[in-house]
Structure 1
Amino acid sequence: MMEQRTTTEEAVGEQRHVRAEQAPGPVGSVLFGALSSFKKDTLRLLTELQRQYGGVARMKMGPYLVHQVTDPEAVKQVLQDNARNYVRGRFYRGFNLFFGRGMLTTDGAEWRTRRAVSRPFFHRAGLRARSGTVTDTVEELLARWEPSARSGDPVDITDDMMWLAMGVLGRMLFGVDLRRYADRLLPAVRFSLKAMILTGEVKQMLPRWVPTAYQRRLKGHQQVLNDVMDEIIDLHRRGEGSPDSVVSALLKATHEVTGEPFSRRQIRAELKTLFLAGHETTGCALTWTLYAVAQHEDVRRRLDAELTEVLGGRVPTAEDLDDLPYLRAVVDESLRLYPPIWLFPRDAVADDRLGGYRIPAGSTVIVPVYAAHHNPAVWDNPEAFDPARFCPAHAARPADGGHGRSPDGGTSRQRDRYDYFPFGGGARKCIGMDLALLELRLAVAMVVQRYRLQLVAGRPVSPAALVSLRPQPGVLMHIRPAEPKDPAA
């Protein structure tokens, strides 16, 4: 009898030990866990999980075990220190529908080969030397707005920011102006943003061969993207594209392991990745930044004063950006409040421990940038747009970006690198970060100097957690000429 009691006590103790190793989290329904809440309001679920359960939270989503990670040390372990253990997994299967197997969706040697080909095109010094390409493209946007500025007709700036980002990306990387394909590409992009996020809807779960209307639309938009990328590849093969483009580099590249040239399918996948990830995220970031500036008159006035003092109405250069700290703060704060890349999902290859909790092999880890950037334990009044938190007077800036005011609003403290990480971290930090920041700062400076944007009344805007953090239903603005300025004043 004593032996049986001892065995029972050991079993109970083991169960308690297992429970103690599990991260806290919501129970949810038996079958679906937190899946219904995730589908209903993704951003609200993630921020509430962080605030209620802390830096590592556990939940069930349908048949999957998911851990949400926002604790800076745990984020660093996933994205940087133990990144080999965290690979693209089930959350990326939907991405394959439109990206294919490119730099975003692959791991290991396959990923390294693809990144090595594109990396030279994203060096900061080279991008700055070509900043005139960005400002020329922005000038075309400003001219495009002139009729609306005269007539007073509102403009959905979301579409225009995508048009701008597409123009910059095409000229800087593709060796062609992608805007010539915009009428075909933009509808495919709008469809893909929703189709790539797996929400558990029946139309997404049915096998691909089932001939539903959804599947026909899916295949049609996939074909549009493939056709446009094939046209760009063929254009370069005929010698009609830029020899200094990433397309030309991919056509010359060989695989690190096999030594074989890239196939058309592989080149196409890489171009789709650069196109979809490159223009969409920057376009969203531009939209959110201009939206935030338009909503805060004090921010607009202070930014306008800095631009007038430094630029005096002229077109900015890359060298001017170092003399525009408030412009930088405005962009940084926009990326905090509205991070275009709002989530980094991974699957654990082997068991690990994050924040003291066990992470089983095969489970999913999500790193929600949005929730980390809205954490009230880190950010004073996190829902407010306050560029001052990124100004030198309020915060010390580490080499790679963590910064802000102390939670009590008083003396600034050093922020952890992974309190603020709009472009991710580690070896897989967004390759386009320097291009995105260059484009954001130059474009915002030029728009604010030329026009004053005013949000159309009665048109509330909210963030939608698609592939990127998209403003919904759109950002409808009145475009007004900016007030004349006297630089001497």
Structure 2
Amino acid sequence: MIKELLSSKFVQNTGKSWLQQEGTRHFIGRGLLMANGASWSHQRHIVAPAFMADKLKGHVGYMVECTKKMVRNLYDVIGSSTRTEVEIGGYLTMLTADIIARTEFDTSYETGRRIFHLLDKLQILTAQSSRYLWIPGSRFFPSKFRREIKSIKADVERLLMAIIETKKEGAEFGRMSSYGKGLLGMLLAEMQKKKEGFSYDLELIMDECKTFFFAGHETSALLLTWTVMLLATNNDWQEKARAEVLEVCGDGVPTADHLPKLTVLQMIINESLRLYPPASLLPRMAFQDFKLGDLHIPKGLSIWIPVLAIHHDKSLWGNDANEFNPDRFSGRSFALTRNFLPFASGPRNCVGQAYALMEAKIILAMLLSSFSFTISENYRHAPVNVLTLKPKHGVQIYLKPLRV
């Protein structure tokens, strides 16, 4: 029934509710994640080419260079020590922020860092403010809380507008032949097309930028953070993954041709996504009456797909469902079943899925070839849901350099 609900059959009959859209209005606005119906179809069609295989291969060099910089920073932190504690989540968050800023928005690390810092604050405030949406009229009450949200939103949009204006000026005055190859360049080119019906305006482009700035680094950073935690607590799998990386990549850095051969690493990533899916819940609303299996679904009904519960269901995954066992993904077909939903499923699945998996493989491969790591006794396991599934107190690990 879940597979059927997420299929193309119901893609126009279901979508994001008013409550969800209103709750994220100041955060990601009308971006792809919150779009419905014909608007969603148009937006998906326009952004999808930015994440196609040929485009992604062109990003490998950026991803490797950004990761090299993080590895150098970690070596500097360690210095001459043979074992140093670091909170790895913070490093991975800034790394994925750097990568998405460079690959899809052609902007500097510093500008990207400021945008992500503001979006992080906006995410927390938005999650808190959505609690009050259940009270009719509450969104119209002036408060210090709402003034802060609007102030941060304005700061984000000023930074995005500066990036957009730079690109527009470069194209208009001939300094650049186009608006760029990344997602932002494609959106600006689309805005110039005069079409009837759906079209992009500056406000929608900024909403799309916020959506992909957030989704392109937040979920990737969490996938990497949880995977490092699991490898730090399961040394045998860490050694298997490191041996595979050395066999496939040798002493060099990963290339696009290496990535499909890292099958053990893919199994580990899948198991991490099963245990700690970034989006633990997929909410949908019925926009008209329809039949789902034996159920009559009335218009206006909210349907919640509990991804976290499905991923930990012992009847589906066995008695070891709560344990880390990448071997369960050794049969490739099993990873593609309806029971595995880290990126949702069907037409509304995550458009950046291939991007996230490629990025995760490159970063993990380079970490594994540079360091061995174990979990710190200061680590406190406390996953918490704030739109995404986060480690509340971070992930503290001991790093030991493998190269001098």
TM over 0.5, shorter chain: yes
Residue-pair matches, total: 392
Give the equivalent residue in structure 1 for 2:190. 253
1:191 aligns with 2:108: no
Larger Rg: 1
Give the equivalent residue in structure 1 for 2:152. 221
Give the equivalent residue in structure 2 for 1:126. 55
What is the alpha-carbon distance in structure 2 between the residues aligned to residue 355 and residue 445 of structure 1?
A: 43
What is the alpha-carbon distance in structure 2 between the residues aligned to residue 284 and residue 160 of structure 1?
A: 11
Deviation at 1:228, TM superposition (A): 1.6
What is the alpha-carbon distance in structure 1 between the residues aligned to residue 203 and residue 314 of structure 2?
A: 46
TM-score, structure 1 as length reference: 0.75
Give the equivalent residue in structure 2 for 1:171. 102
What is the alpha-carbon distance in structure 2 between the residues aligned to residue 314 and residue 148 of structure 1?
A: 23
What is the aligned counterpart of 1:468 among 385, 388, 402?
A: 388
Deviation at 1:319, TM superposition (A): 0.8
Give the equivalent residue in structure 1 for 2:15. 87
What is the alpha-carbon distance in structure 1 between the residues aligned to residue 8 and residue 127 of structure 2?
A: 25
Give the equivalent residue in structure 1 for 2:3. 75
What is the alpha-carbon distance in structure 2 between the residues aligned to residue 203 and residue 105 of structure 1?
A: 17
Deviation at 1:193, TM superposition (A): 2.8
What is the alpha-carbon distance in structure 2 between the residues aligned to residue 473 and residue 80 of structure 1?
A: 39
Structure 2, unmatched stretches of 5+, are: none
CA contact (8 A) 1:94 1:198 kept: no
What is the aligned counterpart of 2:86 among 155, 158, 169?
A: 155
Give the equivalent residue in structure 2 for 1:22. none
Structure 1, unmatched stretches of 5+, are: 1-72, 403-416, 485-489
CA contact (8 A) 1:91 1:198 kept: no
What is the alpha-carbon distance in structure 1 between the residues aligned to residue 39 and residue 377 of structure 2?
A: 49
Deviates more, 1:475-484 or 1:306-315: 475-484
CA contact (8 A) 1:121 1:246 kept: yes
Give the equivalent residue in structure 2 for 1:66. none
Deviation at 1:199, TM superposition (A): 7.7
Deviation at 1:207, TM superposition (A): 3.4
State the Cα RMSD in Å: 2.4
Structure with higher RCO (Cα < 8 A, 6+ apart): 2
CA contact (8 A) 2:84 2:400 kept: no
CA contact (8 A) 1:337 1:373 kept: yes
What is the aligned counterpart of 1:423 among 340, 343, 357?
A: 343
Deviates more, 1:435-444 or 1:87-96: 87-96
What is the alpha-carbon distance in structure 2 between the residues aligned to residue 184 and residue 203 of structure 1?
A: 29
1:214-250 per-residue CA deviation (whole Å, 9 max, x = no partner) reads 2232122212221221111111112178622322222
Partner-residue secondary structure (3-state), 2:324: coil
What is the aligned counterpart of 2:362 among 435, 442, 464?
A: 442
What is the alpha-carbon distance in structure 2 between the residues aligned to residue 174 and residue 182 of structure 1?
A: 9
Deviation at 1:126, TM superposition (A): 2.5
CA contact (8 A) 1:452 1:482 kept: yes
Question: What amino acid does structure 2 have at the position aligned with 1:114?
Answer: Q
Larger helix fraction of residues = 2
What is the aligned counterpart of 1:397 among 333, 347, 355?
A: 333
1:280-336 per-residue CA deviation (whole Å, 9 max, x = no partner) reads 111111111111111101111111222222222321112112222101111111111
What is the alpha-carbon distance in structure 2 between the residues aligned to residue 260 and residue 440 of structure 1?
A: 34
Matches within 5 A, 1:323-362: 323-362=261-300
What is the aligned counterpart of 1:302 among 233, 240, 257?
A: 240
TM-score, structure 2 as length reference: 0.89
1:33-69 per-residue CA deviation (whole Å, 9 max, x = no partner) reads xxxxxxxxxxxxxxxxxxxxxxxxxxxxxxxxxxxxx
Deviation at 1:183, TM superposition (A): 4.9
Distance change (3 Å), C-alpha of 1:133 and 1:369? same
1:100-152 per-residue CA deviation (whole Å, 9 max, x = no partner) reads 11111112222222222222111023212431221111111101111222255
State, as a whole percentage, how many aligned pairs show the same letter.
27
CA contact (8 A) 2:280 2:389 kept: yes
